[in-house]
Chain A
Amino acid sequence: MHRDTKGWVFVGPFLAVFALTFLAPIGYAIYLSLFREQAFFGGNVFVGLDNYADVIADSKFWESFLRVLTFLVVQVPVMLILALLAALAIDSARLHGASFFRIVIFLPYAVPGVVAVLMWGFIYGDNFGLAADLNNLLGSTAIKPLSGHWMLPSIANIVTWEFVGYNMLIFYSALRTVPEELYEAAAIDGASALRTVRAVKLPALRGAVVIATIFSIIGSFQLFNEPNILRTLAPNVITTYYTPNMYAYNLSFAGQQFNYSATVAIVMGVITAVIAYVVQLRGSREAL
């Protein structure tokens, strides 16, 4: 065996499954998106890009898209900044019991998203939740996390609760790779703690921040579990097209519109990939 081919022995099995579960569905979705089911005669007819034109003109799609975009623009920065501050605090050596904080703040990541939503859904509810307790305590009825205005922030709170610890750990791991000499050099230069953060720590975190941002953007555009589970508690607030992913799901499983659903999935995939790519380009060019 020539050295050139030996690597394939190790990479091959992964790629085979990868092809079956990533590449084939992408190809199949593209194929589906070019056809349309005949209502009366049955069978599929080739319609070219008609489905794409329909998605572009679909107000339900854009409503759901704008909703996740709003979510993304507010929730992701809040979550990442909290994670960044926590990582810097834990790394600063100024904290009592730093390793205890590290593991406890990470714990929500081990809680299945479904359980987190069920739990927060109960907490938000009027029946036996903490929202009700709080309202009783304040003698008010103002706190309604499951009402129309509050729903998106309520979902954002669940996602933040789940993922701050995970991102904190990514940032903390990056901080651990800073060589000790850099801190010594900063100390000799008489740099203050804040200056050390700006000059040494933040630059070291850049790559991790870019990766975390990309994962968070992908996650936001995929938003599904939280609204879909909360829908049973607030069916009038959360529509079947509350997020693009819920829209694609309901088109498929409630509406049997598989071709259109595949088109929605592809459009979201392309938008996500483009934004992730832009973030990566900007992230690798600009300083933090």
Chain B
Amino acid sequence: MSTRTSPLRPRRSPLLTGLMILYLVYTLVPLLWLFLSATKTQGDLLSSPGLWFGHRFALFANIRDTLTYNDGIFLRWLGNTLLYVVVGAGGATLLATAAGYGLAKYKFKGRRAVFAVLLGAVAVPGTALAVPTFLMFSNLGLTNTVWAIIIPSLVSPFGLYLMWVYASDAIPHDLLEAARIDGAGEVRIFFTVALRLLAPGIVTVLLFAVVSTWNNYFLPLIMLSKPNLYPLTVGLTQWSNQATGVGARPIYNLVITGSLLTIVPLVVAFLLLQRFWQSGLTAGSVKQ
């Protein structure tokens, strides 16, 4: 460095900004390609350059076709995904919040054992469990029901970890003691006092649980064989597979437009809620 600047107020660096722009291009080009491709007819997809528009702007026609193809099965998949997300991710957030709070604020017997079991189980790869979980659920008659997706989605060890660290910091013991002296019960204290203080942490956990449920593919792939229970991810790959094999009926434009429609809600949620979830991560998650 040739110029002397204070390390606390360093000068903006065009070189660094330039390098980061390069990375930004890598991040954005596939998304740009997806958007541009969603505006093309199937014919234009094959004949026009990938990073420019086709002859006809067919985005709205594609969206209409995606939503109506096969009696509107896409909307059904969207509805399923929403159900799995609302119940699964919502429930996961509630369970993780309560458990994280319990671990952070109560010194009860068996607390150490809970830690050990959780840590051990988290090290076991989730998908290694998928096949045994399928066999077990199959014996219980739960496969091909919404419960096969919802029940496993209810557990988020990462969410628990996040809430546990967050609750340790965000809720002063004195406040809980004061509430107890006022005669409030433990459950009531949780709902009236703790939840409010935990809000940024809860938004963070909720958002990550929503993403993992919305994006879930492996679990529904093995648990469900009825297309009318599929979430968007499994449905889209089924559409994509239609393009190969015997009797291939490629619907590339619908796969691409469906993909775009699947991304948009999450991107919007992240952008709208970024203040909350970023502060939740920063305040609680990775402190040493």
| Identity of the chain A residue whose Cβ is nearest the Cβ of B127 in the assembled complex | A222
CB pair B136–A103 under 8 Å, yes or no, is no
Chain A contributes a number of interface residues (CB within 8 A of B) equal to 108
Distance to closest chain B CB from A75 (angstroms): 15
Given B109, B154, B214, B269, which contacts A112 in the complex, CB threshold below 8 Å? B214
- CB contacts (< 8 Å) of B130 on chain A: these are 249, 265
Distance to closest chain A CB from B188 (angstroms): 12
Given A1, A92, A103, A222, which contacts B126 in the complex, CB threshold below 8 Å? A222
In the bound assembly, the distance between CA atoms of A8 and B101 in angstroms comes to 11
How many A-B pairs have beta carbons closer than 8 Å: the answer is 299
CB pair A119–B16 under 8 Å, yes or no, is no
A113 in the interface (beta carbon within 8 A): yes
- CB contacts (< 8 Å) of B33 on chain A: these are 119, 122-123, 130
CB pair B51–A26 under 8 Å, yes or no, is no
Distance to closest chain A CB from B254 (angstroms): 12
A150 in the interface (beta carbon within 8 A): no
Per the 8 Å Cβ criterion, residues 76-94 of B in contact with A are: none
| Interface 1/0 per residue, A247-288 and B, CB below 8 Å | 011001100001001100110110011001100000000000
B96 in the interface (beta carbon within 8 A): yes
CB pair B27–A24 under 8 Å, yes or no, is no
Given B186, B256, B287, which contacts A122 in the complex, CB threshold below 8 Å? B256
| Interface 1/0 per residue, A94-120 and B, CB below 8 Å | 111100010111111111111110111
CB pair B123–A218 under 8 Å, yes or no, is yes
- CB contacts (< 8 Å) of B110 on chain A: these are 8
Distance to closest chain B CB from A207 (angstroms): 5
Per the 8 Å Cβ criterion, residues 133-161 of B in contact with A are: 133-136, 151-152, 154-155, 157, 160
CB pair B267–A21 under 8 Å, yes or no, is no
- CB contacts (< 8 Å) of A109 on chain B: these are 211
CB pair A10–B271 under 8 Å, yes or no, is no
Given B50, B111, B121, B240, which contacts A129 in the complex, CB threshold below 8 Å? B50
If A95-B12, A266-B128 touch, whether A110 touches B270 (CB-CB below 8 Å) is yes
- CB contacts (< 8 Å) of A11 on chain B: these are 98-99, 102-103, 114
Given B12, B240, B243, which contacts A229 in the complex, CB threshold below 8 Å? B240
Given A21, A232, A273, which contacts B152 in the complex, CB threshold below 8 Å? A21
| Identity of the chain A residue whose Cβ is nearest the Cβ of B137 in the assembled complex | A25
- CB contacts (< 8 Å) of A128 on chain B: these are 37, 45-46, 48, 50, 252
B131 in the interface (beta carbon within 8 A): yes
- CB contacts (< 8 Å) of B168 on chain A: these are none
Q: A96-B17, A101-B24, A118-B256 are in contact. List 18 more A-B contacts (CB 8 A).
A: A1-B186, A4-B109, A7-B103, A8-B108, A10-B98, A14-B99, A18-B155, A112-B217, A115-B262, A118-B259, A120-B30, A128-B48, A132-B50, A169-B278, A183-B7, A191-B7, A232-B241, A277-B123
Could you name 15 residue pairs across A and B whose Cβ atoms are closer than 8 Å? A6-B106, A6-B108, A6-B186, A10-B190, A22-B129, A23-B117, A25-B132, A105-B27, A115-B262, A118-B259, A122-B252, A211-B286, A232-B240, A252-B134, A262-B135
> A: which residues have CB within 8 A of B?
1, 3-11, 13-15, 17-18, 20-26, 28-29, 32, 82, 86, 89-90, 92-97, 101, 103-116, 118-123, 127-130, 132-133, 161, 165, 169-170, 173-174, 176-177, 183-184, 186-187, 191-193, 196, 204, 206-208, 211, 214, 218, 221-222, 224-225, 229, 232-233, 245, 248-249, 252-253, 258, 261-262, 265-266, 268-269, 272-273, 276-277
